Amino acid sequence: MQADRRTSFSEFITTLKDEILKQIRVSLPGQIISFDTNTQLAQVQIGVKTRLKTGGDISPSPIIEIPVYFPGGDFMIEYEISEGTEGIILFSHRDITSWLTAGSVQELASLKKFDVGDCFFVPGLRSQDNKIENFQNDGIQLRNVDRSSYIWLKNDGSIQIQGSTVSINGKDFETHQHDNVPPEGTYTAPNGGGPVTGNSGEVI
């Protein structure tokens, strides 16, 4: 009889713990439904379905007006956020309403904890279905999906830039020429180098 009581109490504690944990959200994968470039707030869909007590799974309702993470402070990295962008949703311990409006240190707008509406979206966490193709694992790259445009700082100290056009200070790098240099002719190389004949590019 005493053993039965211990079992019942243990089952009660386990059930209570499970019910409490259901109310505590920490992080979940998700994806962008829409993104406002003016506010930098997004509508996000949680990527894992919710299981009902009565059985079966449903997709959680979209979360609206979620701040999206862009690294940096006075200098920052800006990148495109489009529909379907995958990432991780981080849920806040406290209500972020006042902070989201004014920043700094604010009073609590409510006593909510781990609420589904108090969260942040960090792009970049990827499912295997959306893994990065042609991954180099050498230094660091800023690149597009098909790698037709990129800036690559490699481990050997070299830098590669690829793109349909490359502009520096608004001038096309491939056709730019310094002022007062004729576009065609024979040029004498500095430091004792031999003469070079060719086209130095368009004068801009």
State pLDDT tens for residues 157-166. Answer: 999 999 988 8
One domain for residues 127 and 169: no
The answer to whether residues 184 and 175 touch, using CB atoms and an 8 Å cutoff, is: no
Residue 177 lies in a domain: yes
The distance of Cα 191 from the centroid of its chain, to the nearest Å, equals 48
Mean pLDDT across 164-191: 70
| Whole-angstrom distance, CA of residue 174 vs CA of residue 13 | 71
One domain for residues 79 and 173: no
50 pLDDT above the threshold of 90: no
204 pLDDT above the threshold of 50: no
DSSP states of 34-60 as a string?
EEETTTTEEEEEESSPEEPTTS-EEPP
- Going by the DSSP 8-state scheme, the letter that residue 150 receives in this structure is E
One domain for residues 65 and 15: yes
One domain for residues 7 and 98: yes
Which pLDDT tens digit goes with each residue over 99-129? 998 888 888 777 788 788 899 999 999 999 9
Mean pLDDT across 120-145: 96
One domain for residues 76 and 26: yes
Of 23 and 118, the structure prediction assigns the larger pLDDT to 118
Domain count across the chain: 2
Q: Provide the pLDDT for residue 196.
A: 59
| Whole-angstrom distance, CA of residue 90 vs CA of residue 4 | 41
Residue 28 lies in a domain: yes
- Neighbour-count burial of 153, counting CB atoms closer than 10 A to its CB (0-12 exposed, 13-18 middle, 19+ buried): middle
One domain for residues 8 and 82: yes
Residue 136 lies in a domain: no
147 pLDDT above the threshold of 80: yes
Q: Mean pLDDT of all residues in the chain?
A: 85
Residue 142 lies in a domain: no
pLDDT band at 189 (very low <50, low <70, confident <90, very high): low
One domain for residues 127 and 172: no
Q: Provide the pLDDT for residue 43.
A: 98
One domain for residues 176 and 110: no
One domain for residues 118 and 33: yes
Domain boundary residue, one of 131, 151, 174: 131
One domain for residues 15 and 94: yes
One domain for residues 118 and 194: no
Q: Provide the pLDDT for residue 2.
A: 56
**Alpha-carbon distance values, 194 to 101, 185, 197 (Å):** 65, 14, 10
31 pLDDT above the threshold of 60: yes
State the pTM of this model: 0.75
pLDDT band at 29 (very low <50, low <70, confident <90, very high): very high
Residue 170 lies in a domain: yes
Of 73 and 177, the structure prediction assigns the larger pLDDT to 73
pLDDT band at 201 (very low <50, low <70, confident <90, very high): low
Which residue range is the domain that position 176 belongs to?
165-199
Q: Provide the pLDDT for residue 115.
A: 86
